[in-house]
Amino acid sequence: FSSLRDLGELDLSNNLITELPHYIFDDLKHLQKLNLSYNPLSLLYGDQFDSLQQLESLDLETIEIPNINSRMFQPLRNLSYIYFKKFLYCSYALHVRICTPLTDGISSFENLLVVNVLRVFVWIIACVTCFGNLFVIGMRSFIRAENKTHTTSIKMLCCAACLMGVYLFSIGVFDIKYRGQYKKYAVLWMESLPCHIMGFLAMFSTEVSVLLLTYLTLEKYLVIVFPFSNIRPGKHQTIIILVSIWFIGFVIAIIPFWDEDFLKLLWKKWSLFPTLF
């Protein structure tokens, strides 16, 4: 575009563009509107828009930006409108007056939980999950049971479910903390230690619960299909199985934290609930 130095508007949408060179916009100093939407772009460089300091509108709708960061849009001080594929991307262009989409259905620019129904039910479900499972643990502890190994498995399942309750309580607390100003803290929140811990707890709880339910189902299946056989696990076998399940769940939940880049990618994809994928 070296011969179009005074160009004010450029529409490159729907052109099957897969890559843009670093320098492609260097001569468009007066460009005010740029539309790159509906192109299968695989990468946008960090300095891709550095020369477009007069740009007022940027359309990146439908474009995945795995390497997105705040520096990418920082030079665009006159930018008033920006259009992304994902609501989460707006957190990297906080200085832009209007950014779409306005919500991802869960969070908005103002709140971690955008809908009042979500705010209410996150507390209700958290209370029911925690106190309900604690009640079951208490009852199973005081009431004598014939099958103690089965009772132990149920208690472990309740403990795993309680972790999800703790996760939901945390969501409710941080929703109150960031209410009315979530956009300002969204990136810091997703990269913070509390968010990582919450994501770990949710993943840990989910994996352990699934494994325990699988084990309990298999145990009951064997009892029903082979009622007169002696293949039921004993006390020591049950303890070994339960410890193994918790260990496997811990390993699966901790894996994303081994690779920082992979962890950031998950956070960009799943935003508020990074572990429920």
pLDDT in tens, 45-103: 888 898 898 999 999 999 988 888 888 998 899 999 999 998 888 888 888 889 898 88
Which is more confidently placed, 207 or 144?
A: 207
Mean pLDDT of all residues in 220-229: 80
Q: State the pTM of this model.
A: 0.76
pLDDT in tens, 231-273: 777 788 889 999 999 999 999 988 877 766 655 555 555 554 4
pLDDT in tens, 105-162: 788 878 888 888 989 999 999 999 999 999 999 988 888 777 788 888 999 999 999 9
Query: Do 86 and 104 contact (CB within 8 A), yes or no?
Result: yes
- Calculate ∠ Cα 20-25-30, nearest 5°: 150
Cα–Cα distance between 43 and 58 in angstroms, integer?
Answer: 16
Domain 116-267 is of which CATH architecture? Answer: Up-down Bundle (1.20)
What per-residue confidence (pLDDT) applies to 42? Answer: 81
Task: Map out the domains of the chain as residue ranges.
Answer: 1-102, 116-267
pLDDT in tens, 157-172: 999 999 999 999 999 9
Return the half-sphere exposure (C-beta side, CA atoms, 13 A cut-off) of residue 29.
Answer: 4
CA distances from 62 to 39, 42, 84, 111 (A): 8, 11, 7, 24
Q: Which fold has domain 1-102?
A: 3.80.10
* Strand ranges in the chain using DSSP code E only, listed in sequence order: 9-11, 33-35, 57-59, 81-83, 98-100
